[in-house]
Amino acid sequence: DQQVKQNSPSLSVQEGRISILNCDYTNSMFDYFLWYKKYPAEGPTFLISISSIKDKNEDGRFTVFLNKSAKHLSLHIVPSQPGDSAVYFCAASWGTSGSRLTFGEGTQLTVNP
Amino acid sequence: GAVVSQHPSWVICKSGTSVKIECRSLDFQATTMFWYRQFPKQSLMLMATSNEGSKATYEQGVEKDKFLINHASLTLSTLTVTSAHPEDSSFYICSANDRQGANTGELFFGEGSRLTVL
């Protein structure tokens, strides 16, 4: 039972354009969502997060949008840079589970120069 | 941010042998560490929650007698894959949160350990 899904295994965009990575979840108990970035043969690094009491959180070039009614969140990167090329994982947690995260399958983002 | 380090980064072993992977929090104390496993092109799957000074909590379907976890200090957790078989070949990643991240879910991940069982 995949509670967090990233339906696009890959995404390719041109440098300078916007990258939009999508994530859907099924468990309505989730109340905290995170995005992690992962390079090959390395552990994931935290990128940005959002609480369910918000619908948007912005940090520099990265913005996460949350649509609770649709159980959908997205990560926008603008402008995209070649160094952004990596696998992006969406993750979710709820209540006192705190750091017990449920991850999506990941989306490979490639930003072409 | 906080630093978590794993060792070894990759290991090749023969079927039937045991392999130990270490996870250290370098600049903070971690009462709880998490062990994940990632198969190629799949998501990170939580295997177990490692609690300092007590037994680990395993996720459903994870054999606790096969994946031994020891969290003897606030900065070190170890995962031992006992009697490893080829199907145990995977990327094992540990993670921890510092005090600030304890309620937010923000984890700091180690570099991961690639296990290949021949």
Q: DSSP letters of A35-88?
A: EEEE-TTS--EEEEEEETT-SEEEETTEEEEEETTTTEEEEEESS--GGG-EEE
- What pLDDT sits at residue B76? 93
* Residue % of chain A over a pLDDT of 70: 95
Any A CB within 8 A of B111 CB: yes
- What pLDDT sits at residue A42? 84
Is the CB of B111 less than 8 angstroms away from the CB of A105?
A: no
Whether A15 shows a pLDDT value over 90: the answer reads: yes
- What pLDDT sits at residue B100? 58
**Lowest mean pLDDT, pick from A17-26, A37-46, A55-64, B64-73:** A37-46
Residue for token digits 């062990």? B35
Nearest to A38 by CA among B41, B105, B24: B41
Nearest to B4 by CA among B113, B114, B112, B109: B109
Residues written for chain A: 113
Instruction: Mark which residues 47-106 of A lie under 8 Å from B by CB.
Output: 49, 89, 91, 93, 98-106
Mean pLDDT of B79-106: 83
A-chain residues near B9 (CB < 8 A): 41
Whether the CB-CB separation of A87 and A108 falls below 8 Å is answered with yes
B-chain residues near A43 (CB < 8 A): 4, 6, 93, 95, 109-112
Mean pLDDT of B106-116: 89
Give the type of residue at B70.
Answer: N
Tens digits of per-residue pLDDT, B13-43?
A: 999 999 999 999 998 888 889 999 988 878 8
For A29, A33, A37, A89, B53, the CA distances from A95, given in Å and listed in that order, are 8, 12, 24, 20, 24
Mean pLDDT of B78-106: 84
Mean pLDDT of A97-105: 79
Q: How confident is the model at residue A100 (pLDDT cuts 50, 70, 90)?
A: confident
- What pLDDT sits at residue A48? 93
Whether B86 shows a pLDDT value over 90: the answer reads: yes
Q: Chain B: nearest CA to A65, how far in angstroms?
A: 17
Is the CB of B44 less than 8 angstroms away from the CB of A99?
A: no
Residue A109 to residue B51: CA distance in whole angstroms: 35
Tens digits of per-residue pLDDT, A31-80?
A: 899 999 999 878 899 899 999 999 999 999 999 999 999 999 999 999 99
A-chain residues near B110 (CB < 8 A): 43
